[in-house]
Amino acid sequence: MKQIPILFLLGLGCLATGADQPASQTAAVHDTSDGLALTPPMGWYPWNQFGEAQDEDLIKSIADAMVKSGMRDAGYGFVGPDEGICFARAADGRLTTVLKRYPSGLRGLGDYIHGLGLKYALYTDAGTRTCSKGMPGTKGHESDDMRSFADWRCDYVKIDWCNAEGMNEGVSYQRLYQAQRATGRPIVHSACSWGDGKPWTGWGAASSHLWRTTSDVCVPGKIDWNNAMKIAFFNQALYQSAGPGYWNDPDMLIVGMPDMTDARNRTIFSLWCIMASPLIAGNNVCSMTPATLAVLTNMEAIGVNQDPLGIQGHVIRSGDGISVWAGKRLYDGSQTVVLCNQQAAPAEVKVSRAELGLDESATLFVRDLWQHQTTGPLPKDISLTVPAGDVAMLRIAATNAFPIPPIISTDTYRLSLKASGTAPQSLAANLTARTAGTDALPLWKVRPNLPPWLTVNVTQNGKCQTFSHTVNTAGLKQGAYHAIVRADNTEPRSNKPLSALYYDVDLEIPQDVGQK
């Protein structure tokens, strides 16, 4: 495990846990035109719980459980194998699926995941081999490998940094990013150099949608609580280098893993939410307890994480095991505060209006995001007894309304149509997108660059919007047709764009079709 430097906080005074200077943070340059990951990515990856013990059955059963448990509808979209020994390099240099473990092929697994309304995540490495050396890395094969990932219909790729001796992080990740973009498939790019090369100093934002800031949060199957807290403290100090489309990533969640108590689950989840960290669950979703599910699907906490402004909160005061996390203004003008008590006894924690940048006379309503209760208007400062080893996660506003921003899920990400006969046909298929937020959403706008055989019309019914597709087969030659549809939307309070909604439409034409 790499040593984590001790921190000095920028901005709000000297608060953290040690001595070293932080690495400088540079104003990030990130091209958001792809509309990807404009709020922190949410999903599930197998590594923290399963290590390399991954195969198609595991990924499919987790994906099924994500739908059944409500995790998908709570926003957890990305799922797929990590270092699960899923591809090899053939003699011609191309990647091929390890069919023994993934009998449907990596494209088949992607289709299954998309059919559930989930997005497909895969893993590779920028060096010569992956960390276990069980899979080939991309070095020297960047374009071909990114082409394979696009052909497999991947939506998110985590790119590790093992066996990369002598390589430069910024240059290598940029090369992969360009290769990936050249494929034309929109793919979220997750750089995993564990903070090596200091991605927060600029190259991370230029080449990725998220980048790991630290070494691993745990070894597979076994949490290390002190390490997780150190990682949180290291990551929070980098708050100035993240924003919509480019995120600091303190690693996957350990919520629900063995040795995680309810208090620890709440603590990690609250810290990851206030830090606008990617929420990539790492537990066994198939066998999680109702208490774990309740933490992972706390929509009030997720609403903080998925706030359209994308501000990363940070520690404003700490000492003796008590820390106060704030600095996360939300889209409705409210803000979030986490009071974290890592002492062995309950502690009374106070936060003044001044510490939150509020006027002494400001009206304060306080929403407890774990108790789901509002108090206020508060006459004085905030003062709460936080149980030992636990947190209070609060949202503070001038009124007692606490809206939840848009959190989007769909019933599928792949429509598959097949014509029959030689006479022209009109085929139809629907996709439904839903928001778990409390505000009404404007209609999604479909980009007009559709192929001539496809038209899409969007209608609204409360929190759901239906994308109705009409496929006109007239004049199409025998073959397989494919379109990637992109729809955009804007969050009305903040006027910030939502992450673009992308999905695949496949059309099979078994015989040439005549004109009308």
Measured from the CB atom, the residue of 111 and 216 that comes closer to ligand GLA is 216
Relative to beta strand 247-249, strand 496-497 is unpaired
Q: Within positions 466 to 505, which residues make up the interface with ligand GLA, using CB under 6 A?
A: none
Q: State phi, psi for 148 to the nearest 5 degrees.
A: -60, -45
User: CB 39: neighbour CB atoms within 10 A?
Assistant: 27
Q: Which of 126, 157, 187, 192 binds ligand GLA (CB under 6 A)?
A: 192
Q: Which of 47, 78, 467, 503 binds ligand GLA (CB under 6 A)?
A: 47
Binding pattern to ligand GLA, positions 290-329, x when CB under 6 A? ----------------------------------------
Q: Which of 1, 2, 90, 132 binds ligand GLA (CB under 6 A)?
A: 132
C-alpha–C-alpha distance, residues 213 and 130, integer Å = 19
Alpha helices in 152-202 (DSSP H): 169-182
Q: Which of 216, 251, 307, 332 is catalytic?
A: 216
Measured from the CB atom, the residue of 47 and 272 that comes closer to ligand GLA is 47
Task: List all residues 6 or more positions away from 172 whose beta carbon is below 8 Å from its beta carbon.
Answer: 126, 139, 164
Query: Minimum CB separation from ligand GLA for residue 279, in Å?
Result: 15
Binding pattern to ligand GLA, positions 50-89, x when CB under 6 A? --------------------------------xx------
Measured from the CB atom, the residue of 165 and 320 that comes closer to ligand GLA is 165
| Helix 225-236 with 262-274: angle, nearest 10 deg | 20
3 state SS of 460:
strand
C-alpha–C-alpha distance, residues 259 and 262, integer Å = 10
Is residue 219 a contact residue for ligand GLA (CB under 6 A)? no
Query: Minimum CB separation from ligand GLA for residue 159, in Å?
Result: 10
Query: Minimum CB separation from ligand GLA for residue 216, in Å?
Result: 5
The question of whether 160 is a catalytic residue gets the answer yes
Radius of gyration of the chain (CA): 23
Tokens of 318: 């700490």
The question of whether 368 is a catalytic residue gets the answer no
Q: Which of 73, 160, 332, 504 is catalytic?
A: 160
Measured from the CB atom, the residue of 47 and 173 that comes closer to ligand GLA is 47
The window from 101-109, 128-136, 198-206, 377-385 that contacts ligand GLA (CB under 6 A) reads 128-136
Q: Which of 160, 249, 332, 504 binds ligand GLA (CB under 6 A)?
A: 160
Q: How many helices (H) and strands (E) does the chain have?
A: 10, 28
Beta strand ranges found along 287-438 (DSSP E) = 314-319, 322-329, 335-341, 347-351, 365-368, 373-375, 382-386, 390-397, 408-410, 414-418, 426-435
The window from 68-76, 94-102, 125-133, 258-266 that contacts ligand GLA (CB under 6 A) reads 125-133
Query: Minimum CB separation from ligand GLA for residue 58, in Å?
Result: 15
How open is the CA angle 338-340-342, to the nearest 5 degrees? 170
Is residue 131 a contact residue for ligand GLA (CB under 6 A)? yes
Q: Of 437, 428, 363, 433, nearest to 405 (Cα)? A: 437
Sign of CA dihedral 249, 252, 256, 259: negative
Is residue 415 a contact residue for ligand GLA (CB under 6 A)? no
Measured from the CB atom, the residue of 216 and 332 that comes closer to ligand GLA is 216
Q: Of 278, 227, 281, nearest to 82 (Cα)? A: 281
Report whether 113 contacts 81 (CB < 8 A).
Answer: no
Residue type, 468: S
Binding site for ligand GLA (CB under 6 A): 47, 82-83, 130-132, 160, 192, 194, 216
- Report, as residue numbers or ranges, the catalytic residues: 160, 216
